C-alpha cells in the first residue's frame, strides 16, 4: 500500500512538472494586438479585424476655407486620395485572396472580415500595415430602467406654433423660431443609429431620398450593420425602433397632434451602425457611418460623393465595452473620424450616456470627445434626469455635457407601423433635440453653416443656465458651466437671435474714382441678453484709402475694427467710415461682430460698390481757317 502511495505521488509530481514546463502561448507579432491574436486562436477560429495603413493627410487647411461645401470637399478628397495611395496594394491583395473587406478611408483603415490565424500573420508581416486590432461587436444603446413607464405626455397648444407640438419641442423654443420662417430648410441631418422606417408618416416627406413620387436610397441610406449572415439592406429599415424614434425628434412632423420634431423643414439621411433588436455596434460600424455622413455612397458603399454630405450627425449611442467582452475599450478609437467631420464643417451631436448620477459617468465615446457636442437629459420641469451621465469627461477631464435637452417621456415615431408613436426616455432622446436646434440655427443664419466652433459657442452662451446641488470634477453645481447641466438648457430662439445679430453694411452701389463715400455698419441686439465684449470689424482692401472713421477705429493691415460698449437688449450700434478708391474696381464690404467671447465672429451679408473711372469729355472744336 505504501508503495502504491509513493507511485501515485511520483506520477502527480511528474504531471505537475510536465505542465509547469509547457511553453507559454506565443506572443502576438508586434503589429497585431493581443486581443486580435487571441480571437484567432484555435482550430477554425476567425475574427473581424481593423487594419491601419501608414500615414494620414493634413486636414488643417480646411479651417481657412469659408464655406461648408469647400471644407467638406477638401477633407473628403484629401482622405480619399491618401487612402487610395496607402492602401492600393493591400486592397488588391485582399481581393486576390477572396477576403471580404471594406475601406475606412476616413481613418486610413480597412475592416477585414473572417480573418484566420495564417491570414492575420500575413497581414501583420506587410510593410503597408502598421497595426491590426480586433473589431469586437458590442451593444451600443444604453438602456434606461428608471422610466420604463413615463408619465403620459400632454399636448398643449402653443402660441406661434402651427398646430400642437410635443413638450420637448416647445421646451427648446422651436415653435417661436418656426414663426420667424426658419424650420431647418436647406439643412441635412444624418441619423447614425439602428436605422429608420423611412415611410413613416412623420418622416417620409423629410427623407432626402423621397421626391414626392418615388424613393431613391442611393446616397441617402447605407447599412453598415446588416444582420449576421445577411447582405446590407438596400432600403432603410429599423428592427430596433431606436433610430426611428431619434430621427422623429430631430425632423419629424406627422401633422396636428403629431408634431414631434424640432426642425421639420430639414431633411434626413441615415446609416445603420447598430444591428438587430438589441443594437449591436462596433468601432468599424461607427466609423463607416461617420464616413457615410462625410461622403455618402450608393447603397453598396461605392462612389462616395462629398457634395451630398450631411450638415449634422445625430449620435444616440455609446461605444461601450461593458456590453461586450472587449469592443470599444480604446477610448481614442473614434477621435480621428470625428475630427475629420469637424474639419469638414459637419457637427457631431452626441448623447451623454445613461450611466446615472455618479460624477465622471460620461465615460464612453463619442460623448467623451472634444470633437463631439455632448447632450444630457432633463425632464419637463428642467430637472436633470436621474439616468443622465455627469461629467467631467473621463477621457479629457473637461466639462461634459455641453448642454442639456428634453429626454424624459419623449414621444416620437415608432417603426411598427407607418403611423405608430411611442414614449422613450434617455439621453438618446435629448441629443436629436439639439441636432434639430442646430438645423434651425443654420437655416436662419446660413453663414454659420459649417462653422462648428462658433455654432457650439453660440449654443453654450445662449443656453438657459441651470444650477445643481451636485459638484463634480471640482466644479460647483452652482457654477456655469457645471458637470450636471453643462451650460444649461439649449434654447433655439436665443441662439437664432444671437446669430441674427450679425452686422448690416450699407454703402453706395456706385461711385467714381477718388470720390469719397461712406460705409455704414450697424448691429442690433435682438436677444434678451446683454452682449459683452462687442467688437465690430470690416475689411479695408488695399484699393481703398481710409479718410476718417466714426468713432475712430483701429487699423491693422486690411482690417479696421471698433471695440464698443456692451450692447443691451433691443439696442443698436452704428459705426461708419469714409473711404475712397484710386482705381476702377468692384469693392466688397463685409462686417463681422464678436461678442460674449465667441472664438470666431458672426459675419454679416456682403455688399458691393462699383468704382468707375472718370469720363473724359473733350470739347468739340471747329477749325476756323483764316
Omega within 30 of 0 (cis) for the link into 315: no
Whether 413 shows a pLDDT value over 90: the answer reads: yes
In the residue annotation, 428 being an active-site residue is answered as yes
Distance, in Å, from the CA atom of 64 to the CA atom of 286, rounded to the nearest integer, reads 28
Whether 305 shows a pLDDT value over 70: the answer reads: yes
How many Cβ atoms from other residues are within 10 Å of residue 385's Cβ?
26
Whether 620 shows a pLDDT value over 80: the answer reads: no
Strand 164-165, strand 156-157: pairing:
antiparallel
Do residues 369 and 334 make contact, with C-beta atoms less than 8 angstroms apart? yes
Name the burial class of residue 62, with classes exposed (0-12), middle (13-18) and buried (19+) by CB atoms within 10 angstroms of its CB. Answer: buried
- What band does 498 get if pLDDT is binned at 50, 70 and 90? confident
Distance, in Å, from the CA atom of 496 to the CA atom of 180, rounded to the nearest integer, reads 10
Beta carbons within 8 Å of 369's beta carbon, 6+ residues apart? 334, 335, 338, 348, 350, 393, 395, 396
Query: How far is the CA of 338 from the CAs of 165, 383, 556, in angstroms?
Result: 33, 30, 36
Cα torsion 58, 63, 65, 69 to 10°: value is 80
Q: Quick one: average pLDDT of 398-404?
A: 97
Question: What's 93's DSSP letter?
Answer: H
Do residues 536 and 564 make contact, with C-beta atoms less than 8 angstroms apart? yes
Largest CA distance in the chain: 161
Q: Which domains does the chain have, with CATH numbers?
A: 34-135 (3.30.70), 166-499 (3.40.50.200), 504-612 (2.60.40.10)
Q: What is the pLDDT of residue 569?
A: 86
Q: Which residue has the higher pLDDT, 368 or 149?
A: 368
Residue with cell 441674427: 500
Residues 500-530: tens digit of each pLDDT? 888 999 999 999 999 999 999 999 887 777 8
Query: How far is the CA of 91 from the CAs of 83, 112, 133, 282, 574, in angstroms?
Result: 10, 10, 17, 22, 60
Least Cα distance to 484 among 586, 602, 362 occurs for 362
Q: What is the pLDDT of residue 332?
A: 81
Q: Which of 60-69, 118-127, 482-491 has the lowest mean pLDDT?
A: 60-69
Label each residue of 100-165 as H, E or C: EEEEECCCCEEEEEEECHHHHHHHHCCCCCCEEEECCCEECCCCCCCCCCCCCCCCEECCCCCCEE
- Provide the grid cell at 376: 444630457
Q: Quick one: average pLDDT of 430-434?
A: 98
Distance, in Å, from the CA atom of 107 to the CA atom of 287, rounded to the nearest integer, reads 8
Q: What is the pLDDT of residue 60?
A: 94
What is the Cβ-side half-sphere exposure of residue 18, based on CA atoms within 13 angstroms?
6
Question: What's 251's DSSP letter?
Answer: H
Percent of the chain having pLDDT more than 70?
88
Question: What's 616's DSSP letter?
Answer: P
Do residues 311 and 346 make contact, with C-beta atoms less than 8 angstroms apart? yes
- Provide the grid cell at 587: 469693392
Strand 188-193, strand 267-272: pairing:
parallel
Among residues 48, 133, 135, 193, the one annotated as catalytic is 193
Q: Quick one: average pLDDT of 287-310?
A: 98
- What band does 328 get if pLDDT is binned at 50, 70 and 90? low
Q: What is the pTM of this model?
A: 0.85
Do residues 481 and 487 make contact, with C-beta atoms less than 8 angstroms apart? yes
Beta carbons within 8 Å of 377's beta carbon, 6+ residues apart? 351, 352, 384, 385, 387, 388, 404, 405, 406, 407, 408, 425, 426, 427, 429, 430
Q: What is the pLDDT of residue 140?
A: 81
- Rg of the chain over Cα atoms, rounded to whole angstroms, equals 30
Q: Which residue has the higher pLDDT, 536 or 145?
A: 536
Beta bridge partners of 221: 270
Q: Which residue has the higher pLDDT, 570 or 98?
A: 98
How many Cβ atoms from other residues are within 10 Å of residue 121's Cβ?
14
- Provide the grid cell at 38: 487571441
Q: Which of 19-23, 159-163, 413-417, 450-454 has the lowest mean pLDDT?
A: 159-163
Mean pLDDT over all residues of the chain?
Answer: 88
What is the Cβ-side half-sphere exposure of residue 400, based on CA atoms within 13 angstroms?
35
Do residues 514 and 545 make contact, with C-beta atoms less than 8 angstroms apart? no
Angle at 321 between CA 320 and CA 324, to 5 degrees: 115
- What band does 607 get if pLDDT is binned at 50, 70 and 90? confident
Among residues 309, 316, 428, 443, the one annotated as catalytic is 428
Residues 189-198: tens digit of each pLDDT? 999 999 999 9
- What band does 28 get if pLDDT is binned at 50, 70 and 90? confident
- Provide the grid cell at 326: 472587449
Residue with cell 476655407: 65
Query: Alpha-carbon torsion 11, 14, 16, 19, what sign?
Result: negative
Among residues 200, 242, 245, 592, the one annotated as catalytic is 242
Residue with cell 465672429: 601
Distance, in Å, from the CA atom of 423 to the CA atom of 376, rounded to the nearest integer, reads 18
Residues 228-254: tens digit of each pLDDT? 778 999 999 999 999 999 999 999 999
In the residue annotation, 501 being an active-site residue is answered as no
Q: Quick one: average pLDDT of 210-220?
A: 97
- What band does 329 get if pLDDT is binned at 50, 70 and 90? low
The b-or-e profile of 508-534 (16+ CB within 10 A means b, else e) is eeebeeeeebebebbbbbebebebeeb
CA 97 to chain CA centroid, nearest Å? 37
In the residue annotation, 623 being an active-site residue is answered as no
Q: What is the pLDDT of residue 17?
A: 39
Amino acid at each position: 500500500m505504501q508503495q502504491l502511495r509513493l507511485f501515485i505521488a511520483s506520477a502527480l509530481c511528474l504531471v505537475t512538472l510536465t505542465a509547469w514546463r509547457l511553453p507559454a502561448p506565443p506572443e502576438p507579432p508586434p503589429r497585431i494586438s493581443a486581443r486580435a491574436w487571441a480571437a484567432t486562436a484555435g482550430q477554425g477560429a476567425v475574427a473581424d479585424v481593423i487594419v491601419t495603413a501608414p500615414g494620414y493627410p493634413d486636414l488643417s487647411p480646411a479651417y481657412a476655407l469659408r464655406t461648408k461645401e469647400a471644407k467638406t470637399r477638401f477633407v473628403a478628397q484629401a482622405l480619399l486620395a491618401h487612402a487610395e495611395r496607402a492602401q492600393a496594394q493591400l486592397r488588391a491583395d485582399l481581393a486576390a485572396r477572396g477576403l471580404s473587406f471594406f475601406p475606412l478611408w476616413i481613418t486610413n483603415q480597412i475592416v477585414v472580415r473572417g480573418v484566420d490565424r495564417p491570414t492575420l500573420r500575413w497581414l501583420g508581416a506587410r510593410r503597408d500595415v502598421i497595426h491590426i486590432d480586433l473589431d469586437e461587436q458590442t451593444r451600443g444603446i444604453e438602456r434606461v430602467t428608471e422610466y420604463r413607464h413615463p408619465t403620459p405626455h400632454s399636448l398643449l397648444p402653443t402660441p406661434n406654433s402651427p398646430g400642437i407640438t410635443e413638450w420637448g419641442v416647445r421646451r427648446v423654443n422651436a415653435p417661436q423660431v418656426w414663426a420667424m420662417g426658419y424650420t431647418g430648410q436647406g439643412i441635412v441631418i444624418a441619423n447614425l443609429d439602428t436605422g429608420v422606417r423611412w415611410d413613416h408618416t412623420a418622416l417620409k416627406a423629410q427623407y432626402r431620398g423621397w421626391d414626392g413620387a418615388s424613393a431613391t436610397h442611393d446616397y441617402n441610406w447605407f447599412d453598415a450593420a446588416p444582420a449576421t449572415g445577411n447582405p446590407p439592406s438596400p432600403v432603410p429599415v429599423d428592427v430596433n425602433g431606436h433610430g426611428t424614434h431619434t430621427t422623429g425628434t430631430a425632423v419629424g412632423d406627422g401633422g396636428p397632434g403629431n408634431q414631434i420634431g424640432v426642425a421639420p423643414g430639414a431633411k434626413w439621411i441615415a446609416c445603420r451602425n447598430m444591428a438587430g433588436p438589441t443594437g449591436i455596434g462596433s468601432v468599424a460600424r461607427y466609423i463607416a457611418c461617420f464616413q457615410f455622413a462625410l461622403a455618402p455612397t450608393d447603397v453598396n458603399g461605392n462612389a462616395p460623393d462629398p457634395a451630398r454630405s450631411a450638415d449634422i450627425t445625430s449620435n444616440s449611442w455609446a461605444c461601450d465595452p461593458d456590453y461586450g467582452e472587449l469592443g470599444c475599450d480604446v477610448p481614442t478609437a473614434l477621435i480621428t473620424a470625428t475630427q475629420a467631420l469637424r474639419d469638414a464643417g459637419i457637427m457631431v451631436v452626441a448623447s451623454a450616456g445613461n450611466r446615472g448620477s455618479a460624477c465622471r459617468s460620461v465615460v464612453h465615446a463619442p460623448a467623451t470627445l472634444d470633437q463631439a457636442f455632448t447632450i444630457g437629459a432633463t425632464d419637463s420641469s428642467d430637472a436633470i434626469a436621474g439616468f443622465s451621465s455627469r461629467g467631467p469627461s473621463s477621457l479629457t477631464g473637461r466639462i461634459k455635457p455641453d448642454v442639456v435637452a428634453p429626454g424624459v417621456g419623449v414621444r416620437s415615431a415608432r417603426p411598427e407601423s407607418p403611423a405608430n408613436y411611442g414614449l422613450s426616455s434617455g439621453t438618446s432622446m435629448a441629443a436629436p433635440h439639439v441636432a434639430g436646434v442646430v438645423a434651425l440655427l443654420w437655416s436662419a443664419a446660413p453663414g454659420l453653416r459649417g462653422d462648428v466652433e462658433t455654432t457650439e459657442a453660440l449654443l453654450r452662451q445662449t443656453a438657459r443656465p441651470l444650477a445643481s446641488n451636485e459638484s463634480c470634477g471640482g466644479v460647483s453645481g452652482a457654477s456655469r458651466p457645471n458637470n450636471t447641466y453643462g451650460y444649461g438648457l439649449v434654447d433655439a430662439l436665443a441662439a437664432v437671435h444671437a446669430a441674427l445679430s450679425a452686422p448690416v453694411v450699407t454703402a453706395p452701389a456706385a461711385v467714381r474714382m477718388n470720390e469719397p463715400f461712406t460705409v455704414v455698419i450697424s448691429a442690433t441686439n435682438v436677444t434678451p441678453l446683454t452682449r459683452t465684449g462687442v467688437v465690430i470689424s470690416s475689411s479695408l482692401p488695399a484699393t481703398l484709402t481710409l479718410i476718417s472713421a466714426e468713432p475712430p477705429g483701429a487699423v491693422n493691415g486690411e482690417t479696421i475694427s471698433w471695440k464698443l460698449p456692451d450692447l443691451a437688449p433691443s439696442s443698436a450700434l452704428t459705426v461708419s467710415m469714409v473711404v475712397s478708391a484710386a482705381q476702377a474696381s468692384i469693392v466688397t464690404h463685409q462686417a463681422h461682430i464678436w461678442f460674449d467671447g465667441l472664438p470666431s465672429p458672426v459675419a454679416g451679408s456682403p455688399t458691393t460698390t462699383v468704382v468707375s473711372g472718370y469720363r473724359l469729355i473733350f470739347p468739340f472744336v471747329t477749325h476756323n481757317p483764316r
